[in-house]
Amino acid sequence: METVVIAGVGLIGGSFGLALKSAGFRGRIVGVSSPRTIEKALYRGAIDEGATLEDAAPRADLIYLAGPIHAILETIPALDGLARPGALVTDAGSTKRRICEEGSKLRGALFLGGHPMAGKEKRGVEEAEAELFRGRPWLLTPSRREDLETPAAREFVQWLERIGAEPRVMTPEEHDRTVALGSHLPQMLSTALAASLDGVPGVAEAAGPGLVDMTRLALSGWDIWRDILETNRDEIAAAIGLYEERLLALKARLEQGLPEEEFLRGAEFARKLRQPR
C-alpha cells in the first residue's frame, strides 16, 4: 500500500492519516476535502497533499471515505470507473446496510464496509489525533467473507492492527442492529433527557456532574444524526422499544418497592464496559 486517499479529512479521516503516519506508513496520503480543510489537514500533518477525487482516486491503493453518510453514498458511484482494479474502497459510516448495498455495485475496486467505534463530540481535523482508534473496535462488514482474504483487504486489516484498532467482522445487518443498541440508543436517550429537562425551572442551576455526563451526547450535531436516523430508522426504533420496556419495568418495581435487582444488573454491565479490552 503506497498511496492512500482520504475523502473527508475531518476528525475521523484526519485521525486515520495521523495514525497511519505514527504507525510507520511511508507512502503518500492524499486528502479530498474543501480547500480550507485541506489547509488545516496539511498543517496538522494528517495528509501530504490535497487533490480532487478525480485526480486522486486513479492512483490510490486505498480509498477511505470518512465523510457523513450522505457524502459516502454520493461518492461511491462516482468512484465507478475512477478507482483502479485491485484498489480497496472502505468507509467510516455509522450505518452499513445502505452503504454496503451501494458499495456492492462498484466495479473493479473492492468495497469493504467499515466503522471505527471512536470519536469525540467536537468535529474537524483540528480535533484529530493519532491515538483515537487505539483499543477501540473497528467493525468490518464485507459483502462476502472471502473479500477479507484479498491482498488489499489483508494489508488494510494489518494496518488497522498497527494503529491499535481491534478489527471485528460482522454482516451489515448485524452491524446496524448492534450499533443501534450500543451507540445510537445512548444518543437518543441523552437527547431525550436533555430535551425533557429543557425549560424546567431550577434543574440547570442545581445540576451535578451526573446530569452533565448523561447529556454529553446531546451535544452531537444534527447534520450527522439526521443521516444515521434515516438509514437505521427501524433498528433504532426497535432499540428504543427495548429500553422503553425496561424503563417501564423499573418504574413498576419502584412503585412496588425498591428496584435493587435492576441496580445490581446495571452496575454489572457498567463494570464490563470499563474492563480493559
Q: What is the pLDDT along the chain (277 residues), one digit of tens a residue?
A: 999 999 999 999 999 999 999 999 999 999 999 999 999 999 999 999 999 999 999 999 999 999 999 999 999 999 998 999 999 999 999 999 999 999 999 998 999 999 999 988 788 999 999 999 999 999 999 999 999 999 999 999 999 999 999 999 999 999 999 999 999 999 999 999 999 999 999 999 999 999 999 999 999 989 889 999 999 999 999 999 999 999 999 999 999 999 999 999 999 999 999 987 6
Q: Are residues 159 and 195 in the same domain?
A: no
Q: Are residues 62 and 148 in the same domain?
A: yes
pLDDT of residue 29: 98
Report residue 61: phi and psi, to 5°.
Answer: -90, -30
pLDDT of residue 28: 98
Q: Are residues 223 and 236 in the same domain?
A: yes
Q: Are residues 49 and 144 in the same domain?
A: yes
Measured from the Cβ of residue 92, the count of other Cβ atoms closer than 10 Å reads 27
Number of domains forming the structure of the chain: 2
Which domain covers residue 201, as residue numbers?
174-274
Q: Are residues 122 and 35 in the same domain?
A: yes
Q: Are residues 165 and 185 in the same domain?
A: no
- State how far the alpha carbon of 202 is from the alpha carbons of 197, 199, 209, 214, 225, in Å: 10, 9, 15, 18, 29
Q: Are residues 165 and 207 in the same domain?
A: no
Q: Are residues 178 and 163 in the same domain?
A: no
Report residue 132: phi and psi, to 5°.
Answer: -60, -35
pLDDT of residue 121: 73
Q: Point out the domain boundary residue: 143, 170, 197.
A: 170
pLDDT of residue 46: 98
pLDDT of residue 122: 81
**Chain centroid, CA 190 distance in Å:** 18
Q: Are residues 141 and 115 in the same domain?
A: yes
Residue 272's contacts (CB-CB under 8 Å, 6 or more residues apart) are: none
Q: Are residues 78 and 179 in the same domain?
A: no
The H-or-E segment that residue 32 falls in is strand 28-32
Q: What is the CATH number of the domain that holds 242?
A: 1.10.3660.10
The H-or-E segment that residue 268 falls in is helix 260-274
Q: What is the CATH number of the domain that holds 86?
A: 3.40.50.720
- Residue 179 corresponds to which cell in the numbers above? 450499533
Q: Point out the domain boundary residue: 142, 170, 198.
A: 170
- Residue 51 corresponds to which cell in the numbers above? 487533490
Q: Are residues 166 and 179 in the same domain?
A: no
Dist CA 254 CA 242 (whole Å): 19
Assess contact for 172 and 145: CB atoms under 8 A.
no
Q: What value, to the nearest 5°, has the Cα angle with vertex 205 and ends 200 and 210?
A: 90
Assess contact for 73 and 139: CB atoms under 8 A.
no
Q: Are residues 65 and 139 in the same domain?
A: yes
Question: 103: buried, middle or exposed (CB in 10 Å: 19+, 13-18, 0-12)?
Answer: buried
Q: Point out the domain boundary residue: 125, 149, 170.
A: 170
**Chain centroid, CA 124 distance in Å:** 14
